[in-house]
Chain A
Amino acid sequence: MIEAIQDQLGNPSDFTAETMDNGYAKMQICFFPGMCDMDQLKDAVIVPFSYRFDPDEFRRMLHTSVAFMKDVPANHLADYLLKGYVILGYEGEVFVFRAIRRMQTAPDQTQVEASLQGPQSAFTENLDLNLTLVRTLYNVPDLSVENYEPGNLSKSKIVLLYDRTKCNDATLKEVRKRLENLDHGLLLSAGQLAKHLSQAKYRLFPITQLTERPDRLSMHINKGKLAVLMDGSRFAILLPVHFFDFMYAMDDHYEPSWMSNFMLGLRYISMLLTLTLPALYISIVSYNPEVFRVQLAFTIDGSRAAVPYPSFIEVLLMLFMIEVLIEASLRLPRAVGSTAATVGGLILGQAAQQAGLVSSVMIIVTSVVAISNFVIPNTTFSYFIRILKYGFVAVAVFAGLVGVVVALFMMVVYLCNMRSFGEPYFALFQSKARVAGSKNR
């Protein structure tokens, strides 16, 4: 047996395959020491086999304990080994023992979706722990868990979660189909999986949501929707989602409703600002300076006096700068990051304005755009908005203010035309009708 497995694996150096002999019996054992929990292995196998060996008891243990699997087909043994199982050969029979090393035993701290007063625990990269987290928060017997193992290189376990009584059958069928048809070289993260699930590549808005918060996932499932968890990723995929879901932070459910409604309004306004402000600047400066109040026109006129090129180059220049700045400070070590922000934001901005390369109003526009973009609670969504704003800039260059309004119209129609796994993506007053509809089905 050992030889066969070693052949299959190509005898890697991090692999251990031994024949143990305690003087009474022999046992073949093979495993990847790096992937196995050695303590568990010692307690469950090594100790009974060596110090307190009793052939009858040992045989009984191997056959009855749920920890040992028997009758695993020989061609699957390597797969189990690669996941951190231990393979034992004893008296001509092959047992598979689960001793996967768990990297995490406690829930993570929230990092992306921080909350002030809500739960602070987040998903980990361990699927079992994640399931525990969900089960504790959504503690009902109706919670269904379905396993999927895609036939790709990483073979990470994928789990589909939903509430049997509340969920929409059509959506469920659709998602199942897509999960079964997954085949892709390397599936490394939930984000990648989400991309495959949503299929269309050039969509302007995300139709799945990534979250690291078990409470968000539970709330989502409680609404009759689905969630996908993946081993090795600390993010869950929620689907189907609505446009409005992306604007909710979990804090909104925990804070007084006046405050949360106010914050919600703030976020929508910020989203509109970050989308349209650069485009509006171009249309005011280059097309319709008479639209906005006279003071504003004179202020912009004065501040632009020294700028040597047309407005849209100024806008593109500053947007380029701010994007570069964000990108640079994202990947830098934390200690250097703040320096980069200071140099880029403060010094460069100030100097560029004094040198007459950009107008001071443009500096304000740029910073408002950047800050407003960070107000959007969901990272994926804010990325999409960040890209979309260039569309508006392009329209404004060619058609001015009217173009911006027409583009807004087209964006609304686009959103209304989107479906997230069969559900309308951007429709007002839909939630009640949907719940009623799914009950009838």
Chain B
Amino acid sequence: MIRYYYYHIFYVGMMNIMVLVPYVLISHRFDGAVSSFPLAIACGTLYSFVTSSVFQRFPGLGLPEIYKLFFPVWLANCLNIIGVVIWSSAGIIVLFSYSNTIGIFFDPEASSYLNLGIMAIASLWAATRSSRSVQFAHEVLLVVSSPIVLWILSKALFSDWLDWDAIRLVAGAGIRKPPSMACFFAASFVFSGHMNITLFNRLHPPDLKFRFRWMIPIVGTFFLLVSFFVPIGFHGTQAVGNYLYVWSVTTDSLMMKYGFIQRVLYLFLLLYTFLSLLFVMNTWHTGMEFLKACFKRYKPLTDEVNVPAVNWWICSFWVVVTFVYAYYTNDLLNRVVAEMWLITHFIVESILVFMLLAFWYMKKKGRMRRSEASLAPQGGGS
């Protein structure tokens, strides 16, 4: 069961490309991107360790349930709402920027709302499923697509056209600059896969041991360095700043001589369709469950057979918000929003980590308002 935890770590590492993390980092490549990496790695690793240790102390409980253990209802609900905003807005940003990418590279003349529409319908439908189904789907798609993504990455890493001098220059120059805050926030997103445990801890059995945690810094560092340095190696220290969808252009610089699809770009985009939908599914589902936890009548279920209507309403609302967002925003604005989201995300994450430490302490002292068993989610139900 522990593998589900690492799936999240792994795919958030791959997904950083789609929330414009490389773009933010590369735009600061000469002033403090590189020097913020060690900080982000240390911080991200620490946070992952803290969250996993704390949640191990609360087996089978999601974050909303833990709030209810310690806080009065109104405070728990407020905190839940913050979670809802952070999670669902992440899905909306990714959905918008990815459908834009797809539109640009696949069909520049088509209406951008068509791609947004079909992807929104798919994510709406996927996000309304039960938590366990979401987890299964996550596993299947990740197992299928990550080997190919890794293959593309390694193809890029070992390409003759990768200019190591440019990488050396940026690394050498960047590490001597004071770290930049924006880059620190962006880089630490790569490690934030552990945040998914806030909901999916509901599915964890009581005897779960978080083994192999040393993998977290390794995986995160790998994806962070690759997603930052490989585009620089391909496009040079200067030209790389001219691209918005920098990874799409980077994969376009690769070629599969013998493949059915010759442009790696298309393979990459098709794979990232899976990963982006997965991301939106996860974030919207988490947001939905957090929102549902605010209702009094709500009983957390992880494996309900029939989808309750409220799921549809909540997720449809997000689809509507996505369309409204798409109507009023553009690529440039989305970039700013994404950057702001990265900052907010990190701040919320930090607050959460400190709260979790407090919860840990309070549990040791036995200061709980309710019993754990009364809040534990049920499996089935109708």
Contacts and interface: CB of A to CB of B under 8 A. Distances in A.
Do A and B touch directly, given a CB cutoff of 8 Å in the complex? yes
Interface of A: 287-288, 290-294, 296, 395, 399-403, 405-406, 408-410, 412-413, 415-417, 419, 422, 424, 426-429, 433
A322 B213 CA distance: 54
Nearest 4 interchain pairs by C-beta? A416-B136, A416-B137, A417-B133, A413-B126
A400 B125 contact: no
A409 B118 contact: no
A409 B119 CA distance: 10
B143 interface: yes
B345 interface: no
Contact of B260 (A293, A409, A410, A412): A293
Interface string B243-280: 00000000000000001111100100010011001100
A409 B102 CA distance: 16
Contacts of B132: 424
A408 B119 CA distance: 12
A417 B106 contact: no
Contacts of B260: 292-293, 296
Interface of B: 1, 3, 102, 106-107, 114-115, 118-119, 122, 125-126, 129-130, 132-134, 136-137, 139-141, 143, 259-263, 266, 270, 273-274, 277-278, 281, 305, 380
A405 B272 CA distance: 10
B348 to A, nearest CB: 28
Contacts of A410: 122, 125-126
Contact of B136 (A291, A406, A427, A433): A427
Contacts of A417: 129-130, 133, 137
A387 B305 CA distance: 25
Contact of B122 (A288, A292, A409, A433): A409
B129 A413 contact: yes
B259 A400 contact: no
Contact of A409 (B143, B262, B277): B277
A228 to B, nearest CB: 22
9 contacts: A292-B261, A400-B106, A408-B274, A409-B278, A413-B129, A416-B129, A417-B137, A419-B305, A427-B140
Contacts of B266: 288, 291
A291 B118 contact: no
Contacts of A401: 106, 270
A406 B118 contact: yes
B93 to A, nearest CB: 19
Contacts of B133: 413, 416-417
A402 B104 CA distance: 12
B206 to A, nearest CB: 12
Given A402-B118, A409-B141, A424 B277 contact: no
A417 B132 CA distance: 8
Nearest to B277: A409
B261 A406 contact: no
A402 B273 contact: yes
A426 B144 CA distance: 14
B9 to A, nearest CB: 18
Nearest to B260: A292
Contacts of A433: 1
A412 B102 contact: no
Contacts of B140: 412, 415-416, 426-428
Contacts of B270: 401, 405
Contacts of B130: 417
A365 B130 CA distance: 38
A403 B121 CA distance: 11
A399 B126 contact: no
A405 B119 CA distance: 10
Contacts of B281: 413
* Most chain B beta-carbon neighbours within 10 Å: one of A400, A405, A429: A405
Nearest to B137: A416
A403 B110 CA distance: 13
Nearest to A427: B136
B106 A288 contact: yes
Contact of B137 (A292, A413, A419): A413
A229 B305 CA distance: 27
Given A406-B122, A410-B125, A424-B136, A294 B106 contact: no
A416 B106 CA distance: 29
Contacts of A427: 136, 139-140
A429 B115 CA distance: 33
A403 B99 CA distance: 12
A370 B140 CA distance: 27
B114 A409 contact: no
A288 B263 CA distance: 13
Nearest to A395: B118
A428 B118 contact: no
B270 to A, nearest CB: 5
Contact of B125 (A294, A399, A413, A415): A413
A302 to B, nearest CB: 18
Contacts of B115: 399, 402
B204 to A, nearest CB: 13
Given A288-B107, A410-B125, A294 B262 contact: yes
Given A291-B266, A416-B133, A402 B126 contact: no
A405 B273 contact: yes
Contact of A287 (B3, B107, B139, B278): B107
Contact of A402 (B1, B3, B102, B134): B102
Contacts of A428: 136, 139-140, 143
A409 B134 CA distance: 12
B274 A409 contact: yes
Contacts of A296: 260
